[in-house]
Amino acid sequence: MRQKIVAGNWKMNLDINRGKILLSEILDSDINKDTLTIIAPPAIHLNSFSQMLSHTNIALAAQNCHQHDSGAYTGEISAGMLKSVGVDYVILGHSERREYFMEDSLSLSFKVINVIKHGLRPIYCCGETLTQRQEGEHFRTISNQIEHGLFQLNEMELLNCIIAYEPVWAIGTGETASPQQAQEIHSFIRKTIAKQYGDMVADNISILYGGSVKPANAKELFTCPDIDGGLIGGAALNAESFAAIGNSF
């Protein structure tokens, strides 16, 4: 049975003091223990948060990492460094990284390999822009992102990944893909994986929806057969909202 997951991506928000307050509020909230809860704060919070989350059922994620283990890469953080402070997951290929930092699926494939090498789990993001959807390119765009970013992995490595579908046109805009639109893409992703790896792998990989999930729409989205949870942005910055989403399964 696939894991049900809510992952809160805090992006570049909250200093360390405000971040600790929010994390404490999340720890005090009553999120269903059967839901895998993941927090992805800014990188400077990771060491402190790892200590706060020890002996809890909440996992810690980084928002990015470099593809090399070490070297003259000023400002970057390696997967090994993240592991050393207790990180469990790494978000890779978020639409904002693709758009603002020009990351592409081929370069991300090296990050995926390195993250897995260090025993961490990638949360690999894919999704189409509004123009790509309007021009009927959304299926091909997502297929290319999946194939170029993940198909270098073997079956066991892929099963160690989580995929997050982000309709780029529904991030931070207040727009949300309808449950039918979201389910259609999630089903397509699962079929794309099945063609390469078979039904067993496709049926056991968790695929999250990452497009303006809120308490008001989470339950309807999460009842779709191929949606296994959410990569949450704005609503993850409020403990009550985040807990409500986590309890929406």
pLDDT tens, position by position, 37-81: 999 999 999 999 999 999 999 999 999 999 999 999 999 999 999
3-state DSSP assignment of residue 161: coil
The Cα-based distances of 144 to 26, 66, 132, 139, 152 in angstroms read 36, 22, 13, 9, 13
- Which range (4-13, 102-111, 118-127, 169-178) has the least confidence? 169-178
Domains annotated on the chain, with CATH: 5-246 (3.20.20.70)
Q: What are phi and psi of 224, to 5 degrees?
A: -65, 140
166 counts as catalytic:
yes
CA-to-CA distance for 67 and 124, rounded, in angstroms? Answer: 14
pLDDT tens, position by position, 80-130: 999 999 999 999 999 999 999 999 999 999 999 999 999 999 999 999 998
Residue tagged active-site, from 94, 103, 128, 138: 94
Q: Percent of the chain, pLDDT > 70?
A: 98
- Burial zone of 34 (CB within 10 Å; 0-12 exposed, 13-18 middle, 19+ buried): exposed
Residue linked to tokens 């999946």: 146
Q: Mean pLDDT across the stretch 202-213?
A: 94
CA-to-CA distance for 163 and 25, rounded, in angstroms? Answer: 27
Q: Strand pairing of 121-126 and 5-9? A: unpaired
Instruction: Write out the H or E segment, with its range, that includes residue 239.
Output: helix 239-246
pLDDT of residue 174: 63
pLDDT bucket at 1, cuts 50 / 70 / 90: confident
Q: Mean pLDDT across the stretch 31-42?
A: 95
pLDDT of residue 30: 86
